[in-house]
Structure 1
Amino acid sequence: MYSLVHKVENAHEDSIWTCAWGCPKRKKDTLPENEDSRDSMRSNEEEIAEYLVTGSVDDSVKVWEQRDKSLHLKHKLTGHALGVVSVAVSSDGAKCASSSLDSSLKLWNLEDGELISSIGVGPVEIWTVVFSPDDKFIVSGSHAGKIHLYGTESGKQEQSLDTRGGKFTLSVACSPDGKYIASGAIDGIINIFDVTYGKVLRTLEGHAMPIRSLCFSPDSQLLLTASDDGHMKLYDVKDATVVGTMSGHGSWVLGVAFSPDGQNFVSASSDTTVKVWEVAKRQCLHTFREHTDQVWAVKYHAEKNHMIASVSEDKSINLYECPK
């Protein structure tokens, strides 16, 4: 059953442009040897808070605690000055990164809401931010077309990847296996970088309009792209071929995300809808129509294939449930 299970109206004072899930992890070395104790630990783990982080044109980042399919505001993080365009959560669920049109990148502690560091990125607009799989770097695309890697510990730029004269980079993604970084530009060009050598490995030209969002499949074999041309494409990362083109939205596709098991993906569009797709058959399984304005971002829960969150120009956050 596909259903809207929770909605937060007026979650921010202005349009919500970005969202990310966070699931704090227990360290493996703290697990007890005793089986009964482990069962007890598992029941306690279920009580560990899960977070949804949202960023808005109102300059704030909000951390929402998700319990029993509902969201409760935990922190409101302030300090940005020109709208928050991207947020990302580290794989251990402990930290959040946010970027703004004020040319700043901030790193936050999700548990207490404290600012860990504010990274100066110079006089350039910084758009999408993501954590590297090992959480050592925050990767961002910039107005200048470069891909920058900032150290989460050092708080400084540690590497820069050149898109070979590329245009404004709107979207970036890291492959889960840590081998690749993909970037999507305003001119529709997609670059895949080899992280080891810091060079462009592939250039993909399947779209002719801005790439608003892209992401790798959980097994790092596929790259999914979303564009203002209304289409989504699946590329085989190894040989850079298009293995699927999906259409169905009536306008720009603004966000895409894979489910944790890689069997489905979800898309968000300025046509106000959220669609769930089956990867194998490249077909739409369901369309959610619960937003009243363009949907800027959509994300699957980091660990649950049946839970999705979306955020919109209408200032609301929606939580959906899909068949298990």
Structure 2
Amino acid sequence: MKLVSLQQLSDAHTDGIWSVAWAPPNPSSPQPILLSGSLDETVKTWSLNEDSLSLIRTNQGHALGVVGVAADPTGRLAASSSLDCIVRLWDIETNETKALFESPPSESWGLTFDPDGKSLAVAGGSSRTIKVWSMETLNEEVTMEIPRNAGSSETMLPPQSSAAIAAAVAGKFVLAVAISADGRRLAASTMDGTIAIFDMFKGKMLHTLKGHCMPVRSLAYSPVDPRVLLSASDDGHVHMYDAESRSLVGAMSGHASWALSVAISPDGQAAASGSSDRVVRLWDLGTRSCAQVLNDHQDQVWGVAFTAAAAPGEKMRGYRLVTVSDDRSIALYDYS
């Protein structure tokens, strides 16, 4: 497996780029569309023309930095979360706002659509919750809550003290969410390293995964095996779990600082991770070893995302990987 550099877009935004996602092809857009969210309060949409990205439009609407973007499975709808506590649902082609979801009491972070595109799950920050909205009714379906003591050791402070409660709430600040390829499970991660696994249909927490003790900022389920979950943490490690049996399959080490982002290739054989050490690493998931190190960014790498390079039935080589950074750049690679 190998990544080959195709394009480096400098100053793609006017501030750091903290989120990125691909919208899959559809009849009106036969090539994937890239979405990039930035602290400059915008989401930009880019078209993929074989080996390069071209700017389509700049979407405005948030009052503070955009920290999460996602596209639904049809490639028609996108959602973006911002430090303004608003989640915006919008049409990718027309930029028409379909809905605005408020997520008090604090800003929303990671978000994802389920595989059927019927629900949108959003990490609820200090609320310790994951809110799920129906895309059919545009109403909130369920709120899943992570208990204050889930997955972490008990605080030494008196359990009812205000200091203990504040510490527990801060620790359970929800950063990232991911939904398994079969739509049955939702994973959510927090500032204290907890990874909670929920039953999507019942809205109940099943168990937690152990291994991290620092913030877990990114999660990725395998697109081919719904049991496999990857996590990226401030401890510098990328963990691979069997999320059903609660077992840690392996820890991938090599980043010199926080691991901020992780994504799994469409074939399920590789993963990419970005770090505050400015490095992108390509991992062989079969051997859980580093296959390649990329040093194309000048600042921390907040987002990595794989996509198929063409619509089903069309002939194009391999897949593409995109990475985004605080250096305001977007890097595009061919993965083979």
- TM-score normalized by structure 1? 0.90
Verify the 8 A CA contact 1:60 1:84 in the aligned structure 2: yes
Letter in 2 for 1:24: P
CA shift digits 1:73-127 (9 cap, x unpaired): 1121101011000000101111110000101010111112222221222332111
Runs of 4+ in 1 over 4 A off after TM superposition: 302-305
Distance 1:100 1:302, change over 3 A: farther
Could you tell me which residue of structure 2 aligns to residue 249 of structure 1?
Answer: 255
Could you tell me which residue of structure 2 aligns to residue 209 of structure 1?
Answer: 214
Rounded Cα–Cα distance in structure 1 between residues aligned with 2:31 and 2:241: 35
Rounded Cα–Cα distance in structure 2 between residues aligned with 1:169 and 1:178: 20
Could you tell me which residue of structure 2 aligns to residue 312 of structure 1?
Answer: 325
Could you tell me which residue of structure 2 aligns to residue 163 of structure 1?
Answer: 146
Q: 5 Å matches for 1:82-231?
A: 82-143=64-125, 144-165=127-148, 167-218=172-223, 219-231=225-237
Taking only the aligned residue pairs, the percentage that are identical comes to 41
Q: Once the 2 structures are TM-superposed, how far is the Cα of residue 24 of structure 1 from its aligned partner?
A: 2.5
Could you tell me which residue of structure 1 aligns to residue 41 of structure 2?
Answer: 59
CA shift digits 1:180-204 (9 cap, x unpaired): 0000100001100011221111211
Rounded Cα–Cα distance in structure 2 between residues aligned with 1:68 and 1:195: 36
- TM-score normalized by structure 2? 0.87
Tell me if 1:19 matches 2:20: yes
CA shift digits 1:146-205 (9 cap, x unpaired): 010012233222210111126100010000101100001000011000112211112112
CA shift digits 1:258-284 (9 cap, x unpaired): 000101111000100111111010011
Rounded Cα–Cα distance in structure 2 between residues aligned with 1:122 and 1:191: 21
Tell me if 1:286 matches 2:275: no
Rounded Cα–Cα distance in structure 2 between residues aligned with 1:315 and 1:94: 26
Could you tell me which residue of structure 1 aligns to residue 11 of structure 2?
Answer: 10
Letter in 2 for 1:126: S
Letter in 1 for 2:262: V
Q: 2:243 aligns with which of 237, 241, 244?
A: 237
Could you tell me which residue of structure 1 aligns to residue 313 of structure 2?
Answer: none
Q: Once the 2 structures are TM-superposed, how far is the Cα of residue 303 of structure 1 from its aligned partner?
A: 5.8
Letter in 2 for 1:215: A
Verify the 8 A CA contact 2:45 2:58 in the aligned structure 1: yes
Q: 2:302 aligns with which of 296, 302, 313?
A: 296
Q: CA RMSD in A?
A: 1.5
Could you tell me which residue of structure 2 aligns to residue 77 of structure 1?
Answer: 59
Verify the 8 A CA contact 1:118 1:155 in the aligned structure 2: no
Distance 1:208 1:98, change over 3 A: same
Of 117-126 and 285-294, more deviation after overlay is shown by 117-126
Q: Which runs of 5+ in 2 are unaligned?
A: 151-171, 311-317
Q: 1:259 aligns with which of 259, 265, 270?
A: 265
Rounded Cα–Cα distance in structure 2 between residues aligned with 1:23 and 1:195: 23
Letter in 1 for 2:301: V
Q: Which runs of 5+ in 1 are unaligned?
A: 27-44
Letter in 1 for 2:110: T
CA shift digits 1:183-236 (9 cap, x unpaired): 010000110001122111121121010001011111212111110000111111
Rounded Cα–Cα distance in structure 1 between residues aligned with 2:249 and 2:111: 27
